[in-house]
Amino acid sequence: MKKLVLLISSVTGLVIFLASSTIHPSEKGIGDEFSYRLQDTLNPYQKANELCFSCHGQRVYKYQNENLGRTVKSSMCDERIIDRKLFYESNHRSFMCVDCHSDGYRTFPHPGELRMEQKFNCIDCHGGDPAFEEYKFELIEEEYIKSSHFRLEEEGFSCWSCHNPHTYKTVTRQGGDISRTIMYSNAICLDCHANNDRFMLLSNGKETNLISKHEWLPYQRAHMRNVRCLECHADVTDTILVPHYIKTKEEAVKGCNECHSKNSLLMASLYRYKATEERKTKGFLNAVILNQSYVIGANRNEFLDTLSLILSGFGILIISVHIFFRILYSKRKTGGTKNVSVS
């Protein structure tokens, strides 16, 4: 039902857009300058979206000021700039801008009251939809409600505080290079926790220093480069690929055994999807032999330990048999020589 409403809204919006004569900046030649970027997208509304990108796609934009009777240049604030390339690479690349934003934004200047409208959350579109069942949005919502982030909603925190709707894309489920997943995930956290201008909006003006906060952590740089913030700061389970139950700092993992053990947390989250995919493509044996848990997760791999012991034992056995027969042959040769009479 939600999909049908969204489709009708999109089609209606497109018709209105094509039929209307709304005065908007830079209408002439919309999309020409960036057509090479848009041709490969799957978005049928890319021309319509350029009506928004003509202003929000760059730092300086132009518009026709009817009061002054001339074209005016103005600067777009950083938070309102949307990168076209990143948008058309994101999960929402097939959307029309007004699928999520009010139709009122078709009019320029935009009515001021539109800023007060409540924004959609992830669950508003993805909740209860069988097409997204594998992502478990309902469980993610349950985890989020228990997290320390949810307590900040009255201060302005929302899904979009971490997942920018214009640029967010799935990385963890793509498998491949784990370091890329780690970097992408940690960048989401650092965008707030390492940016005091954003962090102070939700921390009553308090600043933070991640380096000093993690002074207790041995090999700090190596840890931050090789594991996600989530491994220590979220309730990691094998139910949801990316945990959303962010714990308080007092509850964060500070032990070694949680990761450097046979039942490593990393194998329940960070490496789980990759291991599953590798078993599909490379087979169970190769996935076991090549998995990176030997390096970052568990300190030992029992399969490799057993295999190395078998090979070592087999090698020792061959050497022992060889030595035995050499000694036996040597004794027989010496005995035979003594029995030969010399005339």
Using the predicted structure, report yes or no on whether residue 284 has a pLDDT greater than 50.
no
pLDDT at residue 27, as a whole number: 38
Residue 302 resides in a domain: no
Residue 3 resides in a domain: yes
Residue 333 resides in a domain: no
Residue 74 resides in a domain: yes
Reported confidence tier of residue 11, pLDDT bands at 50, 70, 90: very low
Q: Tell me how far apart the alpha carbons of residues 225 and 246 are, in angstroms, rounded to a whole number.
A: 20
Using the predicted structure, report yes or no on whether residue 68 has a pLDDT greater than 80.
yes
Residue 143 resides in a domain: no
Residue 321 resides in a domain: no
pLDDT at residue 3, as a whole number: 45
What's the number of domains the chain is made of?
Answer: 1
Calculate the average pLDDT of the chain. Answer: 77
Query: Most distant CA pair in the chain: distance in Å?
Result: 135
Residue 213 resides in a domain: no
Residue 212 resides in a domain: no
Mind giving me the DSSP string for 66-127? Answer: TTTTEEEEEEPPGGG---HHHHTTSTTTT--HHHHS-GGGGSSSPPGGGGGSPPP-HHHHHT
Buried-exposed string 108-118: b where 16+ CB fall within 10 A, e elsewhere: beeeeeeeeee
Q: Tell me how far apart the alpha carbons of residues 118 and 102 are, in angstroms, rounded to a whole number.
A: 10
Q: Tell me how far apart the alpha carbons of residues 23 and 35 are, in angstroms, rounded to a whole number.
A: 22
Tell me the residue range of the domain where 107 lies: 1-116
What global pTM score does this model have? Answer: 0.63
Percent of the chain topping pLDDT 90: 23
